[in-house]
Amino acid sequence: MPNVLGKTLGVAKARIRAKHCRIGKVTFRKTVKRQRGRILAESPKPGKRLANGAKVNLIVGRGR
């Protein structure tokens, strides 16, 4: 599982797909403006070994 924390949603999706995984649930959370569109959390945690096709859930900042 690549570490996509702090990356934009587009970059995170590309990196996850490059590791032969799928995007699971994407949740948006209210944050400060500078975190808008950035990955705040991912599940499973970065560094965990996943099977091909595994789903990765993301929490994305949406600003105020």
DSSP assignment of 4-27: -TTSBHHHHHHHHHHTT-EEEEEE
Q: Does residue 4 belong to any structural domain of this protein?
A: no
Token duo for residue 47: 């560094």
Distance between terminal CA atoms of the chain?
29
Q: Does residue 28 belong to any structural domain of this protein?
A: yes
Q: What is the total count of domains within the chain?
A: 1
Q: Does residue 48 belong to any structural domain of this protein?
A: yes
Bridge partners of 42?
A: 58
φ/ψ of 32, rounded to 5, equals -70, 155
Q: What is the mean pLDDT of residues 13-28?
A: 95
Q: Does residue 2 belong to any structural domain of this protein?
A: no
Any idea what the CATH number is for the domain that residue 51 is in? Answer: 3.30.10.20
Bridge partners of 41?
A: 59
pLDDT digits 0-9 by tens, 34-44: 889 999 999 99
With cut-offs at 50, 70 and 90, classify the pLDDT of residue 17. Answer: very high
pTM of the predicted model as reported, rounded to 2 decimal places: 0.86
